[in-house]
Amino acid sequence: MYHKPVLLNKSIEGLNINPDGIYFDVTFGGGGHSKEILKNLSNKGHLYAIDRDPDAHKNTIDDKRFTLIYGNFRYIKNYIEFYKLDGIDGILADFGVSSHQFDISDRGFSFRLGGNLDMRMNPEQTTKASDILNQYSDEDLYRIFKTYCDIHNPGKLVKSIVEYRQQNTFEDIEGFIELLRPIMPYNREIKYKAQIFQALRIEVNDEINSLNEFLDTISAVLHKGGRLSAISYHSLEDRPVKNLIKTGNTKGNLEKDIFGQTDLPFKAINRKIIIPNEQEINENPRAKSAKLRIAEKI
């Protein structure tokens, strides 16, 4: 299977689907969430989906109520304008990397499989993980590993990278892992490698900036009563979603008017984070860190 959808039932229920409504699945992947949304739509409803990975487009759905867009969800407002929509009734977002991307060694997302240091979600973009390791300044490397992963020795890691590339070139995952071995914390090697690869992947795909741009746009495109159903996998993804719901913006700044009143665009549907149950985690271990937040446009 290309990708087993995480929190499928809960995320779809959270949309509170209007059968005649217009919906967006902004992270199409294997199409699991999209297929479930379509089951709830009438002939008047329509689902638009977005994905920047060409492999995902091989999973397109043959349905007149469905349109698959090749692009980045950060531009959702542009797509809505292009299709001349006056607004939409719901958005589903699953911010995780698909199982397919992890399981194909040529894509370079997994430290377990070897292969090239690539990590591009869109293979047409130019910057790969190897380019970052070979070309970024000390300061930018430090920023990546300090900001995008929770490791205690970013300076030591950067020093090792800079020393290595003075006489060598980063190309494959195996060589990079060998560089990491002397500095990996004892008994935390797997977690350390996962954190480093996460940081590189986020930088390669500009994931956090894309996420923030997308989230800061959606209050303008959702109809009143429209829902956001968002699944995140780590705090860098979950925090801006939480901030948006609580304060109306990804920075978490609660803005007040001259009378000291707040005009929040969303209300939280679930007061507690929704997480996978034990059965789902057993069937799909990658769902373990998933968190679902649901919000409604006021």
- List the beta bridge partners of residue 227: 90, 296
Residues 244-270 pLDDT 10s: 999 999 998 887 766 667 779 999 999
- List the beta bridge partners of residue 274: 292
Residues of the chain with CATH 1.10.150.170: 123-204
* % of the chain exceeding 90 in pLDDT: 79
Helices 154-165, 173-180: crossing angle, 10 deg rounding? 130
pLDDT band at 29 (very low <50, low <70, confident <90, very high): very high
Smallest CA-to-CA distance from 16 within 297, 231, 248, 264 is with: 297
Q: What is the pLDDT of residue 2?
A: 56
Q: How far is CA 1 from the centre of its chain?
A: 20
Q: What is the spatial distance between Cα 88 and Cα 220, in angstroms, rounded to a whole number? A: 10
Q: What is the pLDDT of residue 263?
A: 79
Q: What is the spatial distance between Cα 42 and Cα 36, in angstroms, rounded to a whole number? A: 13
What SS3 state is found at 296?
strand
Q: What is the spatial distance between Cα 283 and Cα 247, in angstroms, rounded to a whole number? A: 36
Residues 90-113 pLDDT 10s: 999 999 776 656 556 567 567 766
Question: Is the confidence at residue 8, as pLDDT, over 80?
Answer: yes
> Over the range 104-136, which residues count as b (16 or more CB within 10 Å of their CB) and which as e?
eeebbbbbeeebebbbbbeeeeeebbbebbbeb
Q: What is the pLDDT of residue 256?
A: 73
CATH class of 123-204: mainly alpha
Residues 153-206 pLDDT 10s: 899 999 999 999 999 999 999 999 999 999 998 888 999 999 999 999 999 999
Q: What is the spatial distance between Cα 156 and Cα 87, in angstroms, rounded to a whole number? A: 49
Question: Which pTM does this prediction carry?
Answer: 0.91
Residues of the chain with CATH 3.40.50.150: 8-99+207-297
Mean pLDDT of all residues belonging to the chain: 92
Q: What is the CATH number of domain 8-99+207-297?
A: 3.40.50.150
What are the structure tokens assigned to 268, written together?
């939280």
Residues 116-155 pLDDT 10s: 999 999 989 999 999 999 999 999 999 999 999 988 889 9
Q: What is the pLDDT of residue 108?
A: 58
Considering only residues 26 and 105, tell me which one the structure prediction assigns the higher pLDDT.
26
What's the residue count for the chain? 298
Q: For 66, phi and psi rounded to 5 degrees?
A: -130, 135
Q: What is the pLDDT of residue 104?
A: 63
- As a whole number of Å, the end-to-end CA separation of the chain is 38
Q: How many helices (H) and strands (E) does the chain have?
A: 12, 7
Cα atoms in the 13 Å half-sphere on the side-chain side of 32? 17
* Under 8 Å between Cβ of 234 and 198: yes
